Amino acid sequence: MKIKNNIRGTYNMHKLVRDKIPEFATNAKFRSLKQEEILSALQNKIVEEANEVKNATSEENLLEELADVYTVFHAILDFKGISKEQLLKAVNDKKKLKGDFSKFLLMEKN
């Protein structure tokens, strides 16, 4: 996908995009990923979206970025065939073993 850059014209964008983006970015080129490319693209996308959560500048922006993380998260589960039950079991098992993040503890030294 090429994105307009006000200073240098255009540059190439090489990333996973939502399914309806081709309807809006009509001058861009798109291709379907090969099976062996999908997981890596999803992993890169969730990191990208997590960084956008980190850099959110307002509550509205934070909510939007969290929604993106949630969407990519579900795409990974679907792609890997991980059921909600499997996920929740792993969540609960880890919570029993190590707890959760409700106490907001920061480890300063080890």
Q: Is the pLDDT of residue 2 over 80?
A: no
Instruction: Walk me through the domains of the chain, giving residue ranges and CATH numbers.
Output: 1-31 (no CATH), 32-97 (1.10.287)
Nearest alpha-carbon partner for 44 in 9, 83, 75:
75
Residue 6: helix, strand or coil by DSSP?
Answer: coil
Percent of the chain at pLDDT > 70 equals 89
Residue 11 pLDDT > 70: no
**Stated pTM of the model:** 0.84
For 56-105, the pLDDT digits (tens) are 999 999 999 999 999 999 999 999 999 999 999 999 999 999 999 999 99
Residue 57: both structure tokens together: 């500048």
Q: How many residues does the chain have?
A: 110
Q: With beta carbons less than 8 A apart as the criterion, state whether 39 and 80 touch.
A: yes
Of 10-19, 25-34, 59-68, 93-102, give the lowest mean pLDDT range. 10-19
Q: Is 9 left (phi over 0), alpha (psi -120 to 50) or beta?
A: left
